[in-house]
Amino acid sequence: MHTSRSLTLARLPSGVPVRTTVHAYGEGELVDGDGGPELDAPADSPVVYAQAAQHGREVNGAAVLRRLHDRLVGSDSETGDGDGPSAADLDGTLVTVPVADPLTFDRVSYTTPESLDSRQPNMNRCWPGDAAGSLHERMAARLWAFASEADAVVDLHTGSPAMATHAVYMRGDEDCRGLAEAFGTDLLLAEAAGDDADTEWDERGFAGKFRVAATREGIPTITPELAHSKEIVPEAVATGVTGMLGVLRREGLLAGDPDPWDGTVARNHLGRVIADDSGLFVPEPDLAVGDRVEDGERVGEVFDPTTFETLQVARADRDGIAYSVARESTVTAGATLVGVAERIDGE
């Protein structure tokens, strides 16, 4: 069974509603309640919640949920064969929101303009939201009503072309780790939170991330970062669909087990090679995302475009994995040139 409903997330100053669409597949269905659509699902069956485009320029997640929809309702528009599981095969309920933040989606942006929400321009810093708060806080609270009923959550995001595809999970939480392994990206990044988080992370409000808020409520949650922003990339969509099917199998909505995982786990965002000065950055020609680097290894240089002087020989600050490499050459002082994730779990 598949049902969908329009959901009003908030209202603009003009009175125009900010709307999105919620889908439900399997045993549960969306019904009309006093305050808008609600999920009516059997109490004893699992629920998986997935959303995409919380940052509006990150569109591959929305394409993943469309492709998954086509498979589940038996009309796969890309393969044309309708093969694979259908909604009738789900032993539980999948709830999806393809566009979590219409405000940033329409602007192809990461944050919303200050004029709309000066307090929380980034929706992924204000979860679980506040029904009486700022625009983004109200939108988060409205979606939280669905996410908080789930047994597992997938928050689909999209990195840049310069970032390795990976899935982020809460470090030390084995249920989140298992969910990340079921999604199946080769690289998993374990991110600390709360008392274990770096001071900088706390200062940047990471406690308000959707994944962190849901995990703290006891809901295993992951954030897959698929390749490329602003562009639908077939390979990224295929990775996302395969990952979602793995999650559905792990949570018991589909028969069978997810594929065995044999990848790399690293600490998230601990190492960053920073530009000492502004200029043009040229990475080493053989350096690619996903490569292993060693402490002190040369990863590129920054030079002055007017005098041609080398301003900095950029070197890795630790042993690890280059999970991001700046490909836009013009950099300002303090910008991240290469992100280095430190391998953990003895790998």
Residue-wise pLDDT tens digits, 98-108: 999 999 999 99
38 and 116 assigned to the same domain: yes
pLDDT of residue 35: 86
Burial (0-12, 13-18, 19+ Cβ within 10 Å), 107: middle
**Terminal Cα distance for the chain, rounded:** 43
129 and 141 assigned to the same domain: yes
- Which element (helix H / strand E) includes 309? none
Alpha-carbon distance of 62 to 68, in angstroms, equals 10
Mean pLDDT of the region 289-305: 95
Flag whether pLDDT at 200 surpasses 90.
no
173 and 189 assigned to the same domain: yes
Flag whether pLDDT at 340 surpasses 70.
yes
pLDDT of residue 86: 84
Q: Which amino acid is at 152?
A: A
Flag whether pLDDT at 283 surpasses 80.
yes
pLDDT of residue 229: 86
Mean pLDDT of the region 286-303: 94
Please tell me what DSSP assigns to residue 81.
S
Tell me which of 107-116, 125-134, 268-277 is least confident: 268-277
Tell me which of 12-21, 136-145, 263-272 is least confident: 263-272
Please tell me what DSSP assigns to residue 243.
H
pLDDT of residue 108: 94
Q: Half-sphere exposure of 212 toward its Cβ, with a 13 Å CA cutoff?
A: 20
Count CB neighbours of 9 within 10 A: 24
pLDDT of residue 265: 92
Tell me which of 203-207, 245-249, 266-270 is least confident: 203-207
8 and 139 assigned to the same domain: yes
164 and 296 assigned to the same domain: no
Flag whether pLDDT at 196 surpasses 70.
no
Please tell me what DSSP assigns to residue 337.
E
Pure H helices in the chain:
60-72, 102-107, 135-147, 174-183, 199-203, 210-216, 234-250
Please tell me what DSSP assigns to residue 207.
G
Q: How confident is the model at residue 76 (pLDDT cuts 50, 70, 90)?
A: low
pLDDT of residue 270: 62
The torsion of the CA quartet 122, 127, 236, 185, rounded to 10 degrees, works out to 130
Q: CA-based angle 6:8:14, to the nearest 5?
A: 130
CATH number, domain at 327? 2.40.50.100
pLDDT of residue 7: 96
Q: How many domains does the chain have?
A: 2
Q: Which amino acid is at 53?
A: A
CATH number, domain at 140? 3.40.630.10
Residue bearing tokens 């806080």: 137
259 and 282 assigned to the same domain: no
Alpha-carbon distance of 62 to 180, in angstroms, equals 19
50 touches 153 (CB < 8 A): yes
Mean pLDDT of the region 294-315: 97
Percent of the chain with pLDDT over 90: 77
Mean pLDDT of the region 78-86: 57
247 and 118 assigned to the same domain: yes
228 and 288 assigned to the same domain: no
pTM attached to this predicted model: 0.91
Alpha-carbon distance of 94 to 315, in angstroms, equals 45
Alpha-carbon distance of 96 to 334, in angstroms, equals 38
222 and 85 assigned to the same domain: yes
Structure tokens at 56: 């509006």
pLDDT of residue 246: 97
Indicate the average pLDDT of the chain: 91
Domain boundary (234, 266, 298) is at: 266
Residue numbers of the domain that contains 63: 2-266
Mean pLDDT of the region 339-346: 81
Q: How confident is the model at residue 80 (pLDDT cuts 50, 70, 90)?
A: very low
102 and 137 assigned to the same domain: yes
